[in-house]
Structure 1
Amino acid sequence: MVFLPFEAKKLTENTSINLVNQIEFEDIYTPLSPQPVSTSYVCQGKGNIPILLIHGFDSSLLEFRRLLPILSQQHQTWAIDLLGFGFTKRNSNLLFSPENIKTHLYCTWKNLIEQPVILVGASMGGATAIDFTLTYPDAVKKLVLIDSAGLAAPPKIGKLMFPPLDYLSTAFLRNLTVRQKISESAYYDKRFASKDAQLCAALHLNCERWSQSLISFTKSGGYGSFKEEMVNIKQETLIIWGENDKILGTKDADKFNELIPDSQLIWIPKCGHVPHLEKAELTAEAILN
C-alpha cells in the first residue's frame, strides 16, 4: 500500500480488499507537461482482446471491484484512474479538463496496452469513452456504455466556481453524509450502500489536491453533449442501463441506441445507476456475450 493505508485497512469486502491490494502506479509522460503523471491502474487476466474500464465522476477504479474479477476470467482487463480522479497524481501545473483527460488516457493506453480495446465507460466515464473513441478510433475495437453521460448540455455551475464558492462546493461533496445519500440514490437495492461501499467511494478524497482538481474540472465545463458526433462512432456498441436509474434517469438509454449506428441496448432489471456494482454478474455476462 502506497496510499491511505489506515483508511484502506477498514475495508471489509473481499472484492474491495483484493482490488486495493493490486493497485499499481506508472509514470506516464504526456504532451501536457514535462513532468510525468503517476497513474494508478489495475490489470488482471489474459486474453487476445483487452478490456479497459473507465470510472465515473469523483470516483476511482475501485467502482469496478466486482466487475473486473469476472471479466478477467476471459480477458486481460484494465481499470485506470483518469487524470484528476481516483488515485492518479494531480500535478499542480495541469488543467483537469476533458481534453487533457483524453490526452492522458491515450498516453496511458499507448504506454501500458497499445492494442485495440473493448472500452467500457460508466456514467461520466461513458462520456470519456465516447470522446476517446471519436478521437482515437484505432485504439477502440468495441465500445460499452454503462448508464452513460454524454447527451446532456454542459453544466452551468462552472461559471459560479470562484472563491469561496468553489471550496464550499467541494467541502459539500467531501461530507460523508452527503456522499452516503448519493450512494443510496445510485442503487435500487439500498443494502448495497454499505459502509464498505462508502469507504471505497471516499478513499481518494484524501489524495493531494483533490479539491483543486475537482474545481479545475468543473471550471473547464466538464463533458457536454456528443449528440451530433455519435453518428461517427463506427465501433459495435453495447449500451447497458439499469431499469431504475435515479441519477441520470432512463430516457437517454434509448437515445444512445438511436444515435449510435451499430448499437444494442440491454436493460438490467431491478437495478439503479451502477449495474457494474449492483448486478455485476449480469453486466459481465452482457459484455462477454
Structure 2
Amino acid sequence: MHLGVNCGGRLGTNVIAVDGEFPSFLPKEVKEIKDPFARTLAQRIQRLPVKVGFSESCIMSSCVKPRFQHDTDPVVLLHCFDSSCLEWRCTYPLLEDAALETWAIDILGWGFSDLGSSSNPYSNFRGEREYNFSLSSDFLPAMRHPKDIIFTRCFGKITSRTPLWRTHIKRPMILVGPSLGAAVAIDFAVNFPEAVEKLILINASVYAEGTGLLTKLPKFLAYAGVSLLKSLPLRLYANLLAFDDIPLSKCFDWANVGRLHCLLPWWEDATVNYMLSGGYNVVNQIKQVNKKVLVIWGECDNIVNSKLAMRLHGELPDASVHQIPDCGHLPHVEKPEIVARLIADFARPGAPKEEQEPIVLNSVDGKNTFLFNVLRVENA
C-alpha cells in the first residue's frame, strides 16, 4: 500500500486534500509539497502559547489539535529524530475517524515552534550561551485538563522546572513515540508516571547511548554536519533506508516533507545544541517503565535492528509486540491503516487481549534463539 495513492479506506472528508491557506509561520516551500495528506495536515498546524518555568515569556509551540475532545485518555503523538508532526500525516486522520482525541505535537527545537523571538530564551543561540533542548508536554494548553510538565534536557540530565503540573493532571495520556520519539516517551513515562496511562513504541530507537562522540565535536564541525543533515540528497537516502519499496518520485516528495522544518532559521542552532548536549540515553530506564506497552515493529527496518524488538520486549515488564510485514522503519507513514488500528485497539479501555502466535528470532549476539509472542499484523 502506497500512501500517495491511498491512505486507507476510512479516511473520510476530513483528509481530502483541498488547497487552502497554510499557516504563515510555515516555510514557503510547503506550497511545493504534492502529498495531499501532508498538505492537509500542514494546514491544521497551530502555534499555542505555552508558559514555561524557565522563562517569563511564553513559547509558541506547534501542534495539531484534535477536532473534538472526549472523556477518555488523549492520544499524544511524538515524532522521530529531527522531524515534525507532519510525520503523522496519514495515520492522524484515521485515528480521528476512530473517535480518538489525538494530538500531534512537535518536540521543541524541531518541528515548527517559534524559537526566534527576541524575548525567547531559545533565541540568539550562537556564541557562548548554552541551549537547553526541551520537550514540553504542556504545549497542549487548550486541553480541558492541561498538564504543566516541562522536560529540560541539559547535558543529558532532566530537571522539572514547574512542579505545579501535578495539581493539573486529570487524564493520563496514551503516549506514542516512533524511533527516537520512543526514547522521549520512555524518559517521560519514567519521570512522570502519573501523566501516562499507556505507551506505544514504534520501531523504537532506545538503545543508542545518546549522541556519543558527537558531543566532543568542535562547533564548526557540528554545524557542517548539521548542514549536511538537511540536504536533499541525504534526506533522499534516508527515505530509501526508512521505507520498504518506495517509488523515487514519492521519495523525493516525502524528503521535502521531512526537511520542511529544517528551513526555519533557528533549526541549525537547535540541532547543534541538541547534538552537543548528549541527547537521549534511556537504556537504564527501560526496565523502570511500569506501564502497559505496545511495541510495533516493521519487520523490514533497515535503520534499527529488528532483534532489538526482542530485547525491548524482554526488558519491559508489561509489553506486547506487533510485527508488521513488508514494512520499514516508519510504519505510521508506510502502513497507516494497520498502525491506526493497533493504536485504536490498544487505546480503548478494557480491550480484549489479542491472541499472539509464537515467533522465533535470533538473539542480539546471534548465538541463541528465544521464543516470544509476536502478533504479525497482515495488510488490511
Greater share of helix: 1
Which of the pair has more CA radius of gyration? 2
Q: CA deviation at 1:285?
A: 1.2
Q: Give the residue type in structure 2 aligned to 1:210.
A: W
The 5 Å alignment of 1:71-82 reads 71-73=95-97, 74-82=99-107
Q: What corresponds to 1:58 in structure 2?
A: 82
Contact 2:79–2:106, Cα closer than 8 Å, also in 1: yes
Deviations 1:33-55 (A, max 9, x none): 22221100002244322100000
Q: What corresponds to 1:7 in structure 2?
A: 29
C-alpha distance in 2 between matches for 1:45 and 1:233:
31
Q: What corresponds to 2:332 in structure 1?
A: 276
C-alpha distance in 1 between matches for 2:177 and 2:60:
21
Query: Which of 235, 239, 260 pairs up with 1:179?
Result: 235
Q: What corresponds to 1:108 in structure 2?
A: 139
Q: What corresponds to 1:32 in structure 2?
A: 54
The 5 Å alignment of 1:1-289 reads 1-4=23-26, 6-46=28-68, 47=70, 48-73=72-97, 74-90=99-115, 91-92=122-123, 95-97=131-133, 100-101=134-135, 104-105=136-137, 107-109=138-140, 112=143, 114=146, 115-191=171-247, 193-224=250-281, 226-289=282-345
Q: Give the residue type in structure 2 aligned to 1:12.
A: K
Q: Give the residue type in structure 2 aligned to 1:254.
A: M
Report the identity percentage: 32
User: Residues 111 and 260 (structure 1 numbering): CA distance in 2 closer, same or farther, change over 3 Å?
Assistant: farther
Q: CA deviation at 1:79?
A: 0.4
Greater RCO, CA 8 A, separation 6+:
1
* Structure 1 runs not aligned, ≥5 long: none
Q: Which sits farther off after the overlay, 24-33 or 109-118?
A: 109-118
C-alpha distance in 2 between matches for 1:203 and 1:155:
23
Q: What secondary structure does 1:40 align onto?
A: strand
Deviations 1:80-136 (A, max 9, x none): 101111101232267243xx32xx22x325664532111000111110010011111
C-alpha distance in 1 between matches for 2:36 and 2:267:
27
> In angstroms, what is the RMSD of aligned CA positions?
1.8
User: Residues 174 and 5 (structure 1 numbering): CA distance in 2 closer, same or farther, change over 3 Å?
Assistant: closer
* Structure 2 runs not aligned, ≥5 long: 1-22, 116-121, 147-170, 346-380
Q: CA deviation at 1:229?
A: 2.4
Q: What secondary structure does 2:65 align onto?
A: strand
Q: What secondary structure does 2:211 align onto?
A: coil
Aligned positions, number: 283
User: Residues 276 and 251 (structure 1 numbering): CA distance in 2 closer, same or farther, change over 3 Å?
Assistant: same
Q: Which sits farther off after the overlay, 40-49 or 263-272?
A: 40-49
C-alpha distance in 1 between matches for 2:328 and 2:232:
21
Contact 1:160–1:166, Cα closer than 8 Å, also in 2: no
Q: CA deviation at 1:284?
A: 1.0
C-alpha distance in 2 between matches for 1:32 and 1:189:
45
C-alpha distance in 2 between matches for 1:158 and 1:32:
27
Contact 2:49–2:139, Cα closer than 8 Å, also in 1: no
Q: Give the residue type in structure 2 aligned to 1:13.
A: D
Q: Give the residue type in structure 1 aligned to 2:107.
A: L
Q: Under a length normalisation based on structure 2, what TM-score does the superposition of the two structures give?
A: 0.71
